[in-house]
Amino acid sequence: MATTTASLSLTSSDLFADNLSISTSHQLNKAGTTIGLDQTTGLNRVYLTATTNVDIFTVPGATKDGKKSHVYIANLSTDETEYITVTIGDKVIGRLYAQDFLWMPWNQQAQHLSDLEIAPSVATGMNVEYMIIHEGIVLTTAADS
């Protein structure tokens, strides 16, 4: 097992009359246990030059329904008008504008319906980073032709 910690700090000094300060941290464990997640895709970085909706993590066949995964996605663009639309299957989670990130659990519930997909808003080139820390994903069967 491994020990991996994910922390979040949410702060603002002018959103309210009082300061906003939310801080949380948790250890990434396998589903229903206190055993640490021990697999990862590593941090991927891609440069997308089309507005095509593409899979970044797919559930190609047998699912891992109920297994634990945590997903990180960041839009590295510096143009505030550029965004990626993040979807799970046919459901839009939302838009990540320049420098935005998300952190969320992922349940590989159903073949392709649970695929994580991104679509850039422009075709002029956009860097995106993503990573999963997980307890099992299904790899695509090799095809040589």
Partner 1 sequence: MATINATVSVNSNDLTSNALSLSKTMTLTKAGSNVGLELTSGLVRRTFTSTNHVDLVTAGAQNYGTPTASKANKIYIKNTGSDSTQYFEVGLGTSSGSGTPTADSIGGTHLAIGRLYGGDWMLIPFDGSATTGDITVAPSTSEKMTIEYIIFFE
**Which residues sit at the interface with partner 1, rule CB under 8 A?**
2-15, 20, 22, 24, 26-27, 29, 31-34, 36-38, 40, 42-43, 66, 68-69, 71-72, 74, 80-81, 83, 86, 88-97, 99-107, 109-110, 113-114, 131, 133
The residue (of 33 and 52) whose beta carbon lies closer to partner 1 is: 33
Which residue is associated with the tokens 């097992």? 1
At residue 82, what is the residue type?
E
Nearer Cβ to partner 1 (48/73): 73
User: 37 or 126: whose CB is closer to partner 1?
Assistant: 37
Distance CA 139, CA 49 (A): 25
Nearest distance from residue 111's CB to partner 1, in Å? 10
Can you tell me the distance from the alpha carbon of 136 to that of 143, in angstroms, rounded to the nearest whole number?
21
- Alpha-carbon distance of 68 to 26, in angstroms, equals 14
Distance of closest approach, residue 143 Cβ to partner 1, in angstroms: 25
Burial class (CB in 10 A: 0-12, 13-18, 19+), 61: exposed
